[in-house]
Amino acid sequence: YSTAEQQDVVIIGGGPGGYVAGIKAGQLGMKVTVVEKRGKLGGTCLNVGCIPSKALLNASHMYEDAKTRFSNYGVKVGSVEVSVADMMKYKEKSVNGLTSGIEGLFKKNKVSYSKGHGSIVSPNQVEVTAADGTKSVINTKNIVIATGSDVVSLPGLVIDEKQIVSSTGALSLTTVPKRLVVIGGGVIGLELGSVWSRLGSETTVVEFTPRIAAGADGEVAKKFQRTLEKQHIKFHLETKVTGVTKNADGTVSVNTESVGGSGHSGAIVADVVLVSVGRRPQTQQLGLEKVGVATDKAGRVEVDENFRSNVQSVFAIGDAIKGPMLAHKAEEEGIACIEYLHNGGGHVNYGAIPSVIYTHPEVAWVGKTEEELVKEGAKFKVGKFPFMANSRARTNDDTEGFVKMLSDVATDRILGVHIMGANAGEMIAESVLAVEYGASTEDIARTCHAHPTLSEAVKECAMEKPIHF
């Protein structure tokens, strides 16, 4: 459905930032085209990120429950086995259902979809090169760069997506590796490390810094690591990977060097290595130099508070600009950017963006960590409530974790909420709303929560004196 008509806005990239911006523009009656080169909408998130990883986390969690927990509740099953092929089919079904759903939403909202590689040839023109090489040019008042991010590797380490894999390869392995080494103890490493560990891989995470889950509250990260260790994931912190060598027997050796007190030096033998050391913005081959769009050292498009680059008609959102690389952050920016183009409005509150690690238990947070508040010299109170004291967690036999709430001593305003526990990713929404509305702990404490639910732990954490702990 590509168009020759002058557009109000052309969006390059059909991920959560770009496709949401496209639908919003369509809803506001703007003439909009989304250019996407992948052949499918949904970007990294739907195709090789959030969605397939959550499908595999769900499936592997069910396998583990069936194998190790069902019998505790009187549920008797025969031998429990994994079919990786069937699990991958289920993953693909969830991906395909959602990506094709976006095409339907585009039609409904009159969003033109141009399949091909987009590049900016002038401040008001985007050239699209289709898969067969055909080129066309779309004239437009404004351009939004929503080209997202791509995997990075380590110097000298070639990702083959079979044995040395990025998250993309780790989402499509055909067998369960006997030994998996994960380089990088961030979100991808912990989520995908959990998937394959549950399915039977002996999993070792090698992390350069002294902690895992960068960005999470330090106390939570420490307890989370202990929890993952109980799930048989091994950690080597303060450890640098110096290289990966292929062995004659088909295995690989991950060579490491200690960079601190608890570090590890030596070779770790593995069948598969997952490289998850971060992602970089995809802003190359976009024609940015041609029109003079400025990027920072990391390759991110530099934008002002309205997502405008140094070129008046060129905007950028999502993983291609600064800030956390999260789908919901990209979506918020997509909507705010289009609202700004439409009527000058649009705003994102970066202080109220939740983060979630979808392991079991989940880890979720919003606002400031304890370390950040200490660094700022803030005067704050700390409330904590363990799921062990929550009746629903007890009846679910799933009591690992706690809620931690940080609030201002003088005003009682909530500054940060950190949850480790089953369903933490769902539970955090209430705290995000609290931070967004500037609520106090007393506001949450005086709000009626259904019983028995896990979210009562958030309420009790907010109480000056919890009833059950």
Could you list the active site residues?
A: 451
In this structure, are residues 363 and 223 in contact, taking their beta carbons and an 8 Å threshold?
A: no
Quick one: which of 194, 256, 282, 399 contacts ligand FAD (CB under 6 A)?
282
Q: Is 425 in the site for ligand FAD (CB under 6 A)?
A: no
In the complex, the smallest distance separating the C-beta of residue 205 from ligand NAI, rounded to whole angstroms, is: 9
What is the enclosing helix (H) or strand (E) of 239? strand 239-246
Q: Which does 209 bind (CB under 5 to 8 A by kind): ligand NAI, ligand FAD, none?
A: ligand NAI
Q: Which does 208 bind (CB under 5 to 8 A by kind): ligand FAD, ligand NAI, none?
A: ligand NAI
List of residues 6+ apart from 8 with CB closer than 8 A: 25, 30, 31, 32, 140, 141, 142, 341
Q: Is 67 in the site for ligand FAD (CB under 6 A)?
A: no
Q: Is 252 in the site for ligand FAD (CB under 6 A)?
A: no
By beta-carbon proximity to ligand NAI, the closer residue of 10 and 171 is: 171
Q: Contacts with ligand FAD in 182-221 (CB under 6 A)?
A: 188
In this structure, are residues 221 and 212 in contact, taking their beta carbons and an 8 Å threshold?
A: yes
Q: Are strands 7-12 and 112-115 parallel, antiparallel or unpaired?
A: unpaired
Q: Which does 278 bind (CB under 5 to 8 A by kind): ligand FAD, ligand NAI, none?
A: ligand NAI
By beta-carbon proximity to ligand FAD, the closer residue of 2 and 391 is: 2
Q: Is 38 in the site for ligand FAD (CB under 6 A)?
A: yes
Q: Is 326 in the site for ligand FAD (CB under 6 A)?
A: yes
CA 380, distance to chain mean position in Å, is 29
CA–CA distance, 256 with 263 (Å, rounded to integer): 9
Q: Is 401 in the site for ligand FAD (CB under 6 A)?
A: no
List of residues 6+ apart from 60 with CB closer than 8 A: 87, 194, 195, 196, 198, 199
Q: Which does 404 bind (CB under 5 to 8 A by kind): ligand NAI, ligand FAD, none?
A: none
Q: Is 354 in the site for ligand FAD (CB under 6 A)?
A: no
**What's the chain's length in residues?**
469
Residue 179: helix, strand or coil by DSSP? strand
Quick one: which of 110, 117, 211, 280 contacts ligand FAD (CB under 6 A)?
117
Q: Which residues face 6 on adjacent strands?
A: none
Using the contact rule CB under 6 A, the part of the chain among 64-72, 83-91, 289-297, 319-327 near ligand FAD is: 319-327
By beta-carbon proximity to ligand NAI, the closer residue of 321 and 439 is: 321
CA–CA distance, 184 with 426 (Å, rounded to integer): 26
Closest residue to ligand NAI, based on beta-carbon distance: 186
Q: Is 35 in the site for ligand FAD (CB under 6 A)?
A: yes
CA–CA distance, 147 with 260 (Å, rounded to integer): 37
Residue ranges in contact with ligand NAI by CB under 6 A:
154, 183-189, 191, 206-209, 214, 240-241, 276-279, 324-326, 356-358
Beta strand extents in 92-156 (DSSP E only): 112-115, 117-122, 125-129, 135-145, 149-151
396 backbone dihedrals φ, ψ, rounded to 5°: -80, -5
Residues interacting with ligand FAD, by CB under 6 A? Answer: 12-18, 35-38, 43-45, 49-50, 53, 117-119, 146-149, 167, 188, 282, 286, 318-320, 325-328, 330, 358
